[in-house]
Structure 1
Amino acid sequence: MSTQETSPNQSMRVSVKNRCACCNSNGVALYGEQGDRLFNTPGKWTIYKCSNARCELMWLNPMPVEEDLYLAYQNYYTHAFSTPKKSSLFLRIKSAHQALHFNHPTKESGSTAQLLSKLITRLNFFKESMDYPLIFFKDLPHGNLLELGVGSGETLKQFSDWGWQAEGLDFDPEAVKACALRGLQVRQGDLHSQKFASETFNAIFSAHVMEHVPQPIELIAEGFRILKPGGLFVAVTPNGKSALHSLFKKDWRGLEPPRHLHIFTKEALLSSAKQAGFSKVKVITSNFSAAGVFSASARLKTNCQNSFPLRLLSNLARLILTFYWRFYPDSGEELILIAEK
């Protein structure tokens, strides 16, 4: 591994990563000359794929050095916070569903939303979106919970309202400020720098954080250390073997260079959790973000604008993908790691 100087078209220093962070196998170039088409970070990036068929982790090579990663987030969406808007009909239906099935307190459901939630649950196509993220912790007594990467704080507030002693962690000072304005407890920095005592938390949750981390196995290992016995580490991350990646290839929204440093497969994520110390581990896939990923990938591929026909097509694609998932359960858009200490 050797660090390279900043080149004229590359705003960040980079480091060569020829070997897989999960199994140490050699990598081969999968997609070359990838630019940041989402937030316009300067530079071109190559995405490698592990040559081990039992792993197939993907990663950036060369990869930005950790000290310069902040440069990839200058225009990132977490900097665009806004006042929460009135809930959509779907969010009211979701609130009614979670009140009914998880005893989650809500002020936004009504008889119509409750009726529609029961109907949609019976159809089973949107149930995973309405269950998320409470379903993973439904059998765990409420205690101390840590969320890694809080964004706008919506999920953290959801856990707090549900009765957890919830706190968050985010590297972005703007995210920390926005959450503080909502009365949420959020620390700034990375997990290791917090120096939490061993066995502090009953649960750790992260949604779309793992792909941004330079040393993901070290992150999971630190999570293992600070979890109490019987605690759960739940992590959601893009699925490198998803149906949408197979469809869109280099235009797949899940790639997102240069912020997504590692893209996991089910096998790579299972192996990483076991290397980090977990023995009770499972990885499942789901499609709760499939409509949004389909829409974003289609726009990257065709340069089209967001529109009502595209939103309609994206939701139709999500229905098809959910049906397909019933026969191919590893094809979902996101991987979900569920690891018990």
Structure 2
Amino acid sequence: MVDAVFHVAPGRWTLWRCAGCEAAYLDPRPNAASIGRAYSRYYTHASEPAKNFLIPGDRPDLRAKRALHLSHYAREYGHRGDEAMPLGWLLFAASPWRRARAGQFIRHVPAPESEPDVLLDVGCGDGGFLRLARALGYAARGIEFDPQAAKLAQAQGFDVFVGGVDDAPLVDCSLAQVTLSHVIEHLHDPVAALARLHAAMRRGGRIWLQTPNIDSHGAQRFGTAWRGLEAPRHLVMFNVASLGAALRRAGFDDVQRMAPQLDAAFYIEQSQEMAQGKDPYAGDRARRRAARSEGKAWDRAALVDPDHAESVTLVAFKR
């Protein structure tokens, strides 16, 4: 494999699959000193966070959509919302597709139990999810390796540590919620990082993780051109079983698989471009429409069989 996404890291790599734990490991693995070059064009480098219809004031044109979702979140996750549409939750009750998408929007985060419950987003980027967590009532904090992205999150008033989990000043038994969205695959020692996060969580605390699924339909179809591999930035690749095993090794209990992220169109479009040696971010409109159509079929299949979705989403608890 080569760096077929951002084309900034010279070299070739092999991905080895462990017959025991089922995880896959990049070889040779970049060390902490050399990996920086691979992130020089990474997409956390944004000028401002994206607008989110769930954050008050961001998208007034989508007020009705927000009211519908707040109704579902109140019933399913215990969130309070004065703007919730009465009986709007019925629309989600009738549609597994809508429930899956709505849960992913908020990373399945329940309402805070007390004031102020602390949510830590590891790999918070420019603070997009921190803004949403704050709107949901959490005291939101972040860890971000990219100083440029962290600076933007800090400018919005968030406490963001620049660096990795190993170096972050975490207070034991203080965190109610921890989220890692497409982060665990970037870590040199995922289990050690999870164990440190476990120590920093209070009893009853919950961790949420999402990562590309090495057992996905796309990985089987596209092989080394699958967008989820992203050598050399993705150091360890997981499936449902291996990610669950990593969480249990780190001390977590009650590992649960969540409804999948319905993101197949992204993986299809970008993998097709990469298979042809093209820039995956330079696809044309026709290919994007075709990928969107095929992606819907893949996503419907993933709702039935999440083990082969493009991403794995798990939650686990500290008991």
TM-score normalized by the length of structure 1: 0.79
Structure 1 residues 144 and 175: alpha-carbon distance in aligned structure 2, compared to 1, 3 A threshold: same
1:320 & 1:223 partners in 2: Cα distance? 37
- Please state if 1:48 is matched with 2:19: no
| Comparing 74-83 and 95-104, the one that deviates more | 95-104
Which residue does the alignment assign to 1:98?
A: 69
- Please state if 1:204 is matched with 2:171: no
Which residue does the alignment assign to 1:130?
A: 102
The runs of 5 or more residues in structure 1 that have no matched partner are 1-33
- Please state if 1:219 is matched with 2:190: no
Question: How far did 1:174 drift?
Answer: 0.6
1:70-219 aligned within 5 A = 70-82=36-48, 84=50, 95-103=66-74, 122-134=94-106, 136-138=108-110, 141=113, 143-219=117-193
Structure 1 residues 55 and 65: alpha-carbon distance in aligned structure 2, compared to 1, 3 A threshold: same
The higher relative CO (CA closer than 8 Å, separation ≥ 6) is in 2
Question: Residue 46 of structure 1 aligns to which amino acid in structure 2?
Answer: W
Which residue does the alignment assign to 2:28?
A: 62
SS class of match (1:282): strand
Percent identity reads 26
Question: How far did 1:138 drift?
Answer: 2.1
Tell me the matched-pair count. Answer: 304
1:122 & 1:93 partners in 2: Cα distance? 18
Question: Residue 220 of structure 2 aligns to which amino acid in structure 1?
Answer: S
The runs of 5 or more residues in structure 2 that have no matched partner are 54-58
1:166 & 1:205 partners in 2: Cα distance? 11
2:304 & 2:71 partners in 1: Cα distance? 29
Q: What are the Cα deviations for residues 183-231 of structure 1, in whole angstroms up to 9, with x where unaligned? A: 2221211122123121010110010000000000001101110000000
TM-score normalized by the length of structure 2: 0.84
| Comparing 276-285 and 176-185, the one that deviates more | 276-285
| Comparing 280-289 and 192-201, the one that deviates more | 280-289
1:295-306 aligned within 5 A = 295-302=269-276, 303=278, 305-306=282-283
Structure 1 residues 312 and 96: alpha-carbon distance in aligned structure 2, compared to 1, 3 A threshold: farther
SS class of match (1:163): coil
2:218 & 2:133 partners in 1: Cα distance? 30
Which residue does the alignment assign to 2:306?
A: 329
Preserved contact between residue 93 and residue 116 of structure 1 (Cα < 8 Å): no
1:248 & 1:36 partners in 2: Cα distance? 15
Counterpart selection for 1:257 from 224, 227, 231:
231
1:261-300 aligned within 5 A = 261-284=235-258, 286-300=260-274
Preserved contact between residue 9 and residue 37 of structure 2 (Cα < 8 Å): no
1:273 & 1:86 partners in 2: Cα distance? 30
Which residue does the alignment assign to 1:18?
A: none
